[in-house]
Amino acid sequence: MLRDVTAVRYVTPLRSGGSVPAVVEADDDGTYVVKFTGSAQGRKALVAEVIVGELARALGLRFPELVLVHFDPAVAADEPHQEVRELHAASAGVNLGMDHLSGAVDFTPEIAEAFPVDPVEAGRIVWLDALTANVDRTVHSSNLMVWPTLGVAPPRLWLIDHGAALVFHHRWDGADPAKAYDFRHHALGRYGPDVRAADAELAPKVTEELLRAIVAEVPDAWLTDFANPGEMREAYVTYLHARVRDSRTWLPTDFPSREELAADEARRAARTQAGRPDWLKRVPDLHGKPAARQDWSVHLG
């Protein structure tokens, strides 16, 4: 079961995402990235984090440990921003923490140029995302980390952030276990992911027993769509088990080549530029071409 810890020190908020998670230290001497129940994404994002993250771990993929964090807003009383303090006040009680991978870096397109990913590993990650309808692991937002970047151990890919997965639980009455999603721009599509091998390996492991054990980790207070938490847990089990048994209907196999991805990115940039007013076209794109691009091949090779 997920361990319970208590936040004892508020380190810093993370403003890279809309949910404004925070780095905290807990009474077990661990450091965690905490996602709050009071965030705009709501508790369903935390449900998705638990189910998909624990399923990833059960299938042998690298994913940081999750814990249930008891959070008292008084711990973050010195937070200067009112909107963040309001988020904390709305999140008193049990929240979700993910082990903080100190020193990890985002798996960006620049790093991807120098980072080798085995097609088998890529296939497993894509397969998990397709099974759980995780539409938020794209070339523009990978939700993958490389850790460690330096040191004695070789760097590895780690999965993070599954709050946007399980899109079906936002509308249960229209949930279709056979629905296919567009994964052509998946962050790992360029590596030729062997999703058929992943399906043969992983699908038999996703049993009803495993799914029940995983959804049992979700706190009752986060399960409110049905008459009682038990009914909602069974709905997740039924949907995901039906989906894994019918993988031929949603298994993604069509991934663009690197050249096709580059051409698509060029067209997207051209459309963006064409939509700018004349005065803005003269402003340099500070995000498109970094002034100093680090040679990650030195660290990742």
The pLDDT-based confidence of 269 (bands split at 50, 70, 90) is confident
The per-residue pLDDT for range 25-57, each reduced to its tens digit, is: 999 999 999 999 999 999 999 999 999 999 999
Calculate mean pLDDT across residues 50-77: 98
Domain end call among 75, 99, 123: 99
Question: Which letter does DSSP use for residue 102 in this model?
Answer: T
Per residue in 286-301, pLDDT tens?
444 443 344 444 445 4
User: Same domain, yes or no, for 9 and 41?
Assistant: yes
Arithmetic mean of pLDDT over the chain: 90
Question: pLDDT band at 195, cuts 50/70/90?
Answer: very high
Q: Which residue has the tokens 């399906």?
A: 199
Q: What is the pLDDT of residue 125?
A: 98
Is residue 99 within 8 A of residue 21, CB to CB? The reply is no
Q: What is the pLDDT of residue 259?
A: 82
In a domain, 155, yes or no: yes
In the β-sheet with 105-106, what is the strand arrangement from edge to edge? 105-106, 144-147, 156-159
**Can you give the residue range of the structural domain that contains 116?**
105-249
Question: Whole-prediction pTM value?
Answer: 0.89
Q: Both 124 and 245 in a single domain?
A: yes
Residue 280 lies in a domain: no
Least confident of 72-86, 121-135, 281-295: 281-295
Contacts of 104 (CB under 8 A, 6+ apart): 145, 146, 147, 148, 149, 158
Which pLDDT value is given to residue 230? 98
Our count of domains for the chain comes to 2
